[in-house]
Amino acid sequence: MPEQTVSRRGVAWFAGVEATGVVEVVDVRAQPERLRQPGWWAVVGDFEGTVRAWRFAQVAAAEPAPAGDWHGPPPESWRSSLVRSRYVAAVGRVRAHIQEGDVYQANLCRVLSAPLPGEPDARALGALLGAGNPAPYAGGVQVPGEVWVVTASPELFLRVEDGVVTSGPIKGTAATPDAMTDKDRAENVMITDLVRNDLQRVCAPGTVEVTTLLGEERHPGLVHLVSTVQGVLADDVATAPDLWARLLDATYPPGSVSGAPKSSALDVIASLETSPRGPYCGAVGWVEVAPDGSVRAELAVGIRTFWWADDVLRFGTGAGITWGSDPEGEWAETELKAARLVGLASGVPAESMTD
């Protein structure tokens, strides 16, 4: 389809730019070579494996959207895919798998949902979250009938620029730095090593390095431990038509929201979670391909992320489970991660939230 032919409405916004006018949508896993075509693409990947990209016709500096246009579900209407007792029991099952040697760590999540009839304005929710919960990888994509995602993600999944790929796994969350535990630090080191191994599959030998280990990042209402891993893409990967298939095959889904070993953790997750994660814990972001074929991209891990479909608004929250996990403490962590953002989406007054 020619680039100037805009076939459907749509909007996406990331990193200070706003794109409009969808030209085409592709299944990235099935047709990765399409993301070698010059243009600006918005990318949304489901945790379960499907990754799609929308190419937009117009890209410009983002204009502020009116947050007052957002009308979310009442606070009391939210329901969890795992209630407290079932989540706590599931944490116990993960610990049993660890004791049996099946996994070292697994990320256990639940999905909050609330009825919200009629497709809402994603840009309005994005503006509301931007004002009340600024995040380094905030953005969103809305193409009616195809995708509706708004993220306030603090976590970098993959950045590609000048032949270098970078990832910033988050493990360890607390209300204050002093509340961070040895369990949090050990979990971060474990997942950082997993991400390092993932990137080694696509990078030149000897180039993968951990540039930050156990760094502290403050966000509204909580603190994260964040590490940074980067490497130089191998020549045959950087120039390959199927660059994105190779990157995703090596790294997807993100290690910080699956577990270690990743394949075993995914089996444990499938046996315990009762609702698909969808874009939550998947990937949300953008890819820009220049006329000379060079690639810039920034994909966030789809945490602190809302998605809407079938007249229901959803939001995911979870925690990494290790042998040292306290089941009630892990439930409390999922509550901490969700409280501020769900409150914002439901119109809870900002003064009732503490930083």
Predicted model pTM: 0.94
Please check the confidence at residue 181 and state whether its pLDDT lies above 50: yes
pLDDT of residue 6: 41
Please check the confidence at residue 151 and state whether its pLDDT lies above 50: yes
pLDDT of residue 278: 98
Helix or strand run (H / E) with residue 127: helix 122-132
Q: Rounded CA gap, 116 and 71, in Å?
A: 9
- Residue 242's alpha-carbon distances to 40, 162, 237, 283, in angstroms, are 17, 17, 8, 18
Cβ count within 10 A of residue 209: 13
Give the mean model confidence (pLDDT) for residues 333-344: 96
CB 266 within 8 A of CB 282: no
Q: Rounded CA gap, 182 and 186, in Å?
A: 6
Which has the higher per-residue pLDDT, 62 or 278?
Answer: 278
CB 35 within 8 A of CB 241: no
Superfamily of domain 8-352: Anthranilate synthase (3.60.120.10)
Work out the pLDDT band at 349, boundaries 50, 70, 90: low
pLDDT of residue 64: 76
pLDDT of residue 8: 59
The string of DSSP letters for 264-277 reads HHHHHHHHH--S--
Output the CA torsion 40→44→50→56 (10° steps).
Answer: -30
Q: Which amino acid is at 318?
A: G
pLDDT of residue 67: 65
Percentage, residues of the chain above pLDDT 90: 91
Please check the confidence at residue 83 and state whether its pLDDT lies above 90: yes
